[in-house]
Structure 1
Amino acid sequence: MKSKIINTAIILLSIVVLLGYMFFVDGVDNIASVFLKANLWWLAAGACCMVLYWVCEAFILHASVSCFDTHMRYRDTFKTTMIGQFFNCVTPSSTGGQPMQAYYMNRIGVGVGYATSALLIRFIVYQIGLTLFSIVVLIFKYQEFAAEISGFKYLIIFGFTVNTVVAIMLLIVGFTKTFAKKVIRGLTKLLAKLHLVKRLEKRLEQVDKEVDSFHEGFQIIKKHKMRIFVMLILTLFQLFFFFLVPVMIYCSFGLPLSSLFTMIAAGSCVQMASCFIPLPGAAGGAELSFFMLFKLFFPSDQLSTAILLWRLFTFYLPILVGMVFSRDLFGKKIIREPQENLEL
């Protein structure tokens, strides 16, 4: 009975979030008018890009789980992926996705340690993939964007710096556990002196535990170099599909496509600049970043419609689909017969 109440609460929460955004942020009338103006076939292609993004994510997560002495069925991996998509959208800074994924993976028989390590490996690979993608974009398009967009260099320097620092810190923790502990413990003590962290001793214990767990997971990565390489390539394809969504929206307006790479580069910059904004769905920051970059492509009278469509694909759609997969998230533990993994 308790699990049914929790599952019902999740559905109601997601409906409230959706309706709240639709009425107070985007407007139901605006959403309806969008579909009357745009080419529905190109919009369907945009939806397919999001589906391919999720499929890539599921394959990457499945490969990550396969690094350990455990198994998951592909249908369970895809469900885990969509649970993560849903909770990433409805929680600040996407903080709810991984804990809910780990909970579900444990519920279907994957050990908590294995689940956490698999999700950590996937996070490392994603950060490295996004950083590599961003480096390529900045090499070829920084000067062009900086010349055209006021304040671009500050936006991108912030986003690129944060993503790069995260990726480097993950690698430092993976390769040098002792040094990483000293650095993180030192930062934690500094935050405690500034009264930003309470119960210092407990926090330091948590730091040691998390660093040890992460380091152990990273050691497993080094034993599966080819698998990790395949995961990285899949991540690059996954990001490519995500960055294609604005291109599909652009084409749905009947506008001539002059440079596919430039638009994909702009999508990469939007993701770089907004992925660490501490609000559900990076609300506000995501729209602002999209506006700054894509005003180079969309006519001014169509830009607000493009932003709305982009949010429909990248925010509303994951919530709607993820809600379906999350409807029975809580309940009794389910032990299923494992399906053989495909070797990557």
Structure 2
Amino acid sequence: MNDTISIKKTGKQILVFLFFLFLIFLFLLKGKDVSQILKIAACASFPAIAAGIAMAGAFNLSEGLNLGILLKAMGHKVSFAQGMKYAYTGFFFSSITPSSTGGQPMQLYAMKKDGIDLSHGSLALLMELASFQAMAFLFELFAVAMIPVLGISLPVTIKILIIAGFIMNAAFVAFLLVVIFSERMGQRILGLLKKILPRLPFVKEETKSQWIGKMEDGLQEFHACALLMKEHKRAIAKMCVISAGQIICWFGVPYMVYLALGYQGSSFLHLFVLQILIYMSSSLLPLPGAMGISEYAFLQLFGSIYSGSSMTAAVLLSRGISFYFLLALSGIMLLLIYGAARQRKCKTIFS
């Protein structure tokens, strides 16, 4: 990978991200009393905000631990710092690229530089993704069941997005499980795609061949996942528990913001379910970090919880902690990590 090209591409992605962020702030603050919103946010309880930040930080920590567990199971000596480096890399580049497409390639690049085989790195990332998505889907099933129990009213637009997101997530998890555990079914799906892809119009033959090659390689990785799971059942179970804790902490941030703003009356469970519904509603659209749609869904679903300027302050604090803070933290940590690595390299050269 050419570092110069990588830096230029990252710079462009950051500029696009900042443009989207500017539009979101315009949407949230248009016609609002900005001074009142800032006053409410400034008066928020520091202990509750600090607890929310710690809960958000558990997201990266959990991914770092899970990647470390998987890579160690494959025989690699991965330190805690290395696991966190891969987690920060994934979150940062996933957040600034559409459909989170940039995270895993950059994680593989970081692993390769640490001497980890691409096949092992790909397998670890695939297993970590499968664990998170499977646990997230279980929580989604729980949230859907709790909608009538908690008396949650869903606006039509949000209901449509939630249904579409739920179907897409269910299909994705089902696809992962089927392809990982059924080699015959995986071959059938691949055979079907091999028949469909050559008939696609406006796509070069070379591109079609590349897609088929990648799918064949991907199918091998899926089957390797099944073997890994059978060989390391305890490690996989531990990883699933960590993923469940990761989701509880991450989706629990809005409740800490609720407490920080001095509100009472709504339970952790209620706000936790609302945040899961926000996650489901933002799954369908390929926007960097689900920007825009997450804020919109928050305004729609938390409308019965907050009012006036408190509503805007709540969405800014909640998204600020659970997403923008993590993005900034990931970027800063990557600068420190790679800056320290470059300094060590320079000392080695001139010593």
Q: Please provide the CA RMSD for this pair.
A: 2.9
Q: Kindly tell me the number of residue pairs found equivalent between the two proteins.
A: 331
Letter in 1 for 2:25: D
The percentage of counterpart residues that share the same residue type is 26
Q: Relative contact order (C-alpha < 8 Å, sep 6+): which is higher?
A: 1
SS at match of 1:93: helix
* Residue matched to 2:225: 217
Describe how 1:97-246 pairs up with structure 2 within 5 A.
Answer: 97-139=103-145, 141-144=146-149, 148-151=153-156, 152-187=158-193, 189-190=195-196, 192-195=198-201, 197-199=203-205, 200-246=208-254
Aligned mates of 1:230, 1:245 — CA distance in 2: 23
Distance 1:155 1:19, change over 3 A: closer
Q: Which amino acid aligns with 1:26?
A: F
- Give distance in 2, aligned partners of 1:191 and 1:126: 30
**Counterpart residue number, 2:24:** 25
Corresponding residue of 1:77: 83
Partner Cα separation in structure 1 for residue 275 and residue 228 of structure 2: 33
Runs of 5+ in structure 2 lacking a partner?
Answer: 346-351
TM-fit CA distance, 1:230: 1.2
1:287 is matched with which residue?
295
Specify whether residues 71 and 317 from structure 1 end up closer, same or farther in structure 2 by C-alpha distance, changes over 3 A only.
same
State which drifts further: 297-306 or 233-242: 297-306
Q: CA deviation at 1:188?
A: 5.6
TM-score normalized by structure 2?
0.84
Check whether the contact 1:42–1:248 (CA below 8 A) recurs between aligned residues: yes
SS of residue in 2 equivalent to 1:109: coil
Change (3 A) 1:21 1:202: closer
Name the amino acid aligned to 2:223. Answer: H
TM-score with structure 1 setting the length: 0.85
State which of 58, 67, 71 in structure 2 corresponds to 1:65. Answer: 71
Asked whether the equivalents of residues 276 and 282 of structure 1 are also in contact (C-alpha less than 8 Å), the reply is no
CA distance in structure 2 between the partners assigned to 1:257 and 1:188 by the alignment: 56
Contact 2:40–2:261 (8 Å) recurs in 1:
no
- Name the SS for the 2:252 alignment partner: helix
Identify unmatched segments of 5+ residues in structure 1.
336-344
- Aligned pairs for 1:88-103 (under 5 A) are 88-103=94-109
Question: Residues of 2 paired with 1:15 and 1:179: CA distance?
Answer: 40
How far residue 197 of structure 1 moved from its aligned partner, in angstroms, is 4.7
The alpha-carbon distance between structure 1 residues 213 and 223, as it changes in their structure 2 partners (threshold 3 A), is same
Which stretch of the first structure deviates more once superposed, 198-207 or 162-171?
A: 198-207
Quote how far apart the aligned CAs of 1:77 are. Answer: 0.5
Task: Go from structure 1 to structure 2 and tell me whether the alpha carbon gap of 1:326 and 1:213 turns closer, same or farther (over 3 Å shift).
Answer: same
More helix by share: 2
TM-superposed CA distance for 1:84, in Å, is: 0.7
User: Which residue is 2:46 aligned to?
Assistant: 40
Give, in whole Å, the separation in 1 of the partners of 2:202 and 2:280.
27
Q: What is residue 310 of structure 2 aligned with on the other side? A: 302
Point out the more displaced range, 297-306 or 238-247: 297-306
Q: CA deviation at 1:103?
A: 0.8
Deviation at 1:74, TM superposition (A): 0.6
* 21 and 37 in structure 1: CA distance in 2 versus 1, 3 angstrom threshold: farther
CA distance in 1, matches of 2:23, 2:161: 27
Q: Distance in 1 between matches of 2:326 and 2:194?
A: 35
